[in-house]
Amino acid sequence: MRGRRLCLGFACVAAAFLAPGAVPAPAQVRVKDVARVHGVRDNDVYGYGLVVGLAGTGDRATASPFTPQSIANMLQRLGIAVPPLALNSKNVAAVMVTAKLPPFVKAGATLDALVSSLGDSATLQGGTLLLTPLQGPDGRVYALAQGPVSVGGIIASGGTGDSVQKNHPTVGRIPGGALVEREVASVLDPSAISLTLLQGDFTTAVRLAEAVNGAGMGSLARALNPTTVSVAVPPAEQVRLVEFISRLEGLSLRVDAPARVVINERTGTVVLGNQLRIATVAIAHGNLIVQIKNETQVSQPGAFAPIGSQTVVVPKSDVGVKEEKNQLAIVREGANIGDVVQGLNALGVTPRDLISILQAIRQAGALMAEIEIM
């Protein structure tokens, strides 16, 4: 007997909900966790290079024709003339090398370099990156990368075509493999600095300005827009600008954000923001279950059946439909997220059912929050 069970609805996936009850006010956070000093930022650099020393796992000339051309150009700079069509080295792979220049980095500092395969190389394990200039968007070279590539993944294959792969073997790192050759100009205005919020919000910007002005240094800060707060540097602090910025980063404030529901339908994850509110609504939600059973009945000829009698196979199918009889449940308007979760938990729904319910509540105009689907 073969049975198939088809559930028309959402699959049941276990997930943890917030415990009902009162939810405390948001905790205070440091300024350095929610804002950055304008102008203090990383800079990306990149370059094209070759990884050599691979054990036959490099690029194929037919699939990656730029690799033999790059090898020929490199050998030509070394005084060796070789036609690109004559090269078919499987021990070389073309790669892109990327790195980040931290703010105020000085020449001679070392950076971690990320090496990523550009062609059809199977793995970069055991390879060495040749000297690769790393340039910025302006075309100027800011660092040089070279060294053995550390790959956190492996790949192995057998003679029958079976293969096993762990992690990602075509991407590796060179710890400290990039040497900074040119500094990026980073200048701070000693008379005024700007604090940029990572997530813009009018209320948070005002609270940030109030935190600075309430630190006993005078009325120095002013919110210019939802993401920028301008801070005037007192004359006595201009010679100690780093210490002044350090004190600003250590100040605390409460951040604010609009009510938001984040939904990941692929995993059935639902995250409710602290500011979420739901008006009083009545909800009925149930699944329709269709159950199909297939079985086969076999009729065989008897002991004294006529010659030529055959076995008869008779298929039989039973189809049943069951609909859960859920009554209307009232979810009352809550004063905080704990009340909302308590009302939703009373429905006894799964996270995937909750996704459908929240979307329907929003369509009804009873959900005072924006829904973000990942």
- Pair 13, 119 in one domain: no
Look up the domain containing 345 and give its range.
2-23+260-299+309-373
Q: Which residue has the higher pLDDT, 35 or 9?
A: 35
Q: Kindly list the distances between the CA atom of residue 318 and the CA atoms of 30, 125, 281, 323, in Å, as whole numbers in the listed order.
A: 64, 57, 39, 17
- Which tokens in the block code for residue 45? 């650099």
Instruction: Convert the pLDDT of each residue in 216-248 to its tens digit.
Output: 888 999 999 999 999 999 999 999 999 999 999
State the DSSP H helix or E strand holding residue 8, giving kind and residue range, or none if neither: strand 2-8
d(CA 31, CA 247): 10
**Is position 304 within any domain?**
no
Using a pLDDT cut of 90, give the percent of the chain over it: 41
Residue 331 has pLDDT above 80, yes or no: no
- Which tokens in the block code for residue 330? 């009232």
- Pair 214, 95 in one domain: no
Mean pLDDT across 318-325? 58
Give the per-residue pLDDT at 13: 31
Residue 125 has pLDDT above 70, yes or no: yes
Q: Kindly list the distances between the CA atom of residue 88 and the CA atoms of 56, 68, 116, 135, 162, in Å, as whole numbers in the listed order.
A: 11, 7, 21, 29, 25
**Is position 231 within any domain?**
yes
Give the per-residue pLDDT at 337: 66
Give the per-residue pLDDT at 235: 92
- Pair 136, 48 in one domain: yes
Instruction: Convert the pLDDT of each residue in 273-302 to its tens digit.
Output: 777 777 777 776 665 445 556 566 666 666
Are 34 and 252 in contact, with CB atoms under 8 Å apart? Answer: no
Any idea which residue has 């935190």 for tokens?
A: 211
Any idea which residue has 């909750």 for tokens?
A: 354
- Which tokens in the block code for residue 8? 């028309």
**Is position 359 within any domain?**
yes
d(CA 11, CA 93): 45
pLDDT band per the 50, 70, 90 thresholds, residue 9: very low
Q: What is the mean pLDDT of the chain?
A: 80
